[in-house]
Amino acid sequence: MTYSLNFAAVWRSFDLLLEGLALSLGLAFAAILAGCVIGLIAAFGLVSKTVALRKPAGLYVTIIRNTPILVLVLFSYFALPELGVRLGKIESFVLTLAIYSGAYLAEVFRGGLIAVPPGQREAGLAIGLTEMQIRTSIIIPLMLRNVLPSLGSTMISLFKDTSLAAAIAVPELTFEARKINVETFRVIETWIVASCLYVATCSLLAALMRVVERRLAVPR
Amino acid sequence: MDFAFLDQLWLARLPLIKGLGVSISISFLSIAVGTVLGIFVGLALTYGYKPMQWLVRGYTDFIRGTPVLVLVLASYYVLSTVGVELGPFQAGILALAVFCSSHVGELVRGALQSIPKGQTEAAKAIGLTFSQTFAYVLGPQALRQALPAWVNTAAEMVKASTLLSIIGVGELLLRTQELISRTFMSLEFYFFAGFLYFVINYSIERFGRYVERKTAVPS
């Protein structure tokens, strides 16, 4: 068996791959922002003393975490229109990814919230802050510092999950790679280049998170 | 939901059951192969010689940095290009097993490294060889450490098995999509498929909690 690698065809379409990568990053970024908001609300639900808040939050986390993301992606793109919710490909994908990551982030944030010592809340009360002020200016900043490592790994796996957008023909990196495959038949070369782009971006994100963690670390 | 859906569901029971069977076999095979591979990966990461450690570290980091879907697509299309004739099923299992092995590898490494050094030293002191130390001292403790996380990985693999629908393996999701293109009942059938996956994964999750309780060191 002889096969000679020839990257020329892939390099010619390299800008397509880069555009795809940019869209992947954009999807992941939009989804993590929305996912953080959803996850934060759900996390406060999970640690709430009120059953009426705790149960729905728990149900959301359990259902989403135990359903394959591809099913969710297809459901929101193909089945939601039947309920009268009509979204474009990108909007429906970002929404799905946000809801999916929200469930994982809820667990992450819950752990972080529990780790904030109760004395912090009491100190806030003592200086006359309202419950809402205590949350926004004391508990959430402390919690974010606690959860930074898990937040980083959730972000990286979210970035990898953007590849599923190819299933509903969103032109992100995986979709572009398949397109180049079909056009040039340079299958091995294309997948090597696409995987390397993914790996490089993930390593970059991981390095970035390490820098942020160091900058925000509590000085000892 | 009206009765038209139940009628369609009854008509389609055989392909759906078959699809579910394929999904379960995919998950089972990829977990089994991935776990065996992963144990070797974990051992190499912990006890391997330096160059071997670097090699295996490169492998796990590369696999963990690549989306599973890319692994699945690459395995299916690349292998056929270089003349290895694998069907979509085999190529898909290969990709998922490789994915699983990188995760199990890290699990095993984490579990082995969490065992206090004193355990190895104690084993040496009473004259055990390395393989005896591993079999009687390190292995059982690592197993207890890694088991709960391994059960989580198993649930991940069931979810990842849906990706094989994209290369045309007739598992549950693909069968569901075929049904929808015939009946146009996308809402009901996606809901149904999602429900089935939920039931499987939720059972695995509960089982994981049970295992965690059973294997916990009594305090």
Is the pLDDT at B129 greater than 60, yes or no?
Answer: yes
Query: Is A220 a residue whose pLDDT tops 80?
Result: no
Q: Cα–Cα distance between B218 and A197 in angstroms, integer?
A: 47
pTM of the model: 0.90
Query: What is the rounded CA–CA span in Å between residue B136 and residue A203?
Result: 38
Q: What is the mean pLDDT of chain A?
A: 93
B218 touches B35 (CB < 8 A)? no
Residue B62 lies in a domain: yes
Which pLDDT does position B40 carry in this prediction?
95
Give the closest-approach CA distance of A136 to chain B in angstroms. 33
In a domain, B200, yes or no: yes
Q: Which of A3, A59, A61, A67 to mutate to test the interface with B (most CBs of B within 10 A)?
A: A67
Residue B1 has pLDDT above 60, yes or no: no
Is B6 within the bounds of a domain?
A: no
In a domain, B7, yes or no: no
Q: pLDDT, tens digit, for every residue of B96-115?
A: 999 999 999 999 999 999 99
Burial class (CB in 10 A: 0-12, 13-18, 19+), B160: buried
Chain centroid offset of residue A124 CA: 32
Residues 6+ positions from A214 with CB-CB distance below 8 Å: none
A77 versus B5: which is more confidently predicted?
Answer: A77
Residue B8 lies in a domain: no
Cβ-Cβ contacts under 8 Å, A1 against chain B:
82-83
Range(s) of the domain holding residue B127: 16-215
Q: Output the CA angle A144-A150-A152, nearest 5 degrees.
A: 90
Hey, is B66 helix, strand or coil? coil
Of B69, B162, B173, the CB nearest to A166: B69
Note the ipTM here: 0.89
In a domain, B203, yes or no: yes
- Kindly tell me the sign of the dihedral angle through the C-alpha atoms of A84, A88, A93, A94: negative
Residue with the bigger pLDDT between A44 and B216: it is: A44
Instruction: Judge whether B5 lies within some domain.
Output: no
Q: Are B48 and A158 in contact (CB under 8 A)?
A: no
Residues of A whose CB is below 8 A from B158 = 68
Question: Predicted confidence band at A86 (pLDDT cuts at 50, 70, 90)?
Answer: confident
Residue-wise pLDDT for B79-97, tens only, equals 888 878 889 999 999 999 9
Q: CA torsion angle for A193, A199, A204, A205 (degrees, to 10)?
A: 130
Q: How far is it, in rounded angstroms, from Cα B152 to Cα B104?
A: 11
- pLDDT tens for A181-214 read 988 888 899 999 999 999 999 999 999 999 998 9
Count of CB pairs separated by less than 8 Å, A with B: 110
* DSSP per residue, A87-108: --HHHHHHHHHHHHHHHHHHHH
Of B69, B70, B194, the CB nearest to A75: B194
Strands (DSSP E) found in chain B: none
CB distance B187–A82 less than 8 Å? yes
pLDDT tens sequence across B172-197: 999 999 999 989 889 999 999 999 99
What is the total count of domains within chain B? 1
Chain A residues close to B186, C-beta within 8 Å: 78-79, 82
- What mean pLDDT do residues A115-137 have? 93
In Å, how far is B35's CA from the nearest CA of chain A?
A: 21
Helices (H) and strands (E) in chain A, counts: 10, 0
Which residues does chain A have within 8 Å of residue B74's beta carbon, measured at their own beta carbons? 191, 195
User: For residue B114, which amino acid is it?
Assistant: S
Residues A60-77: what's their mean pLDDT? Answer: 96
Residue B82 lies in a domain: yes
Question: Comparing A218 with B197, which gets the higher pLDDT?
Answer: B197
Out of B77, B82, B191, the one facing A3 most closely (by C-beta) is B82
CATH number, position B184: 1.10.3720.10
Name the band, by pLDDT with cuts 50, 70 and 90, for residue A130. very high
Walk me through the domains of chain A, giving residue ranges and CATH numbers.
7-216 (1.10.3720.10)
Q: Which two three-digit tokens encode residue B62?
A: 């590369």
The mean predicted confidence, pLDDT, of chain B is 93
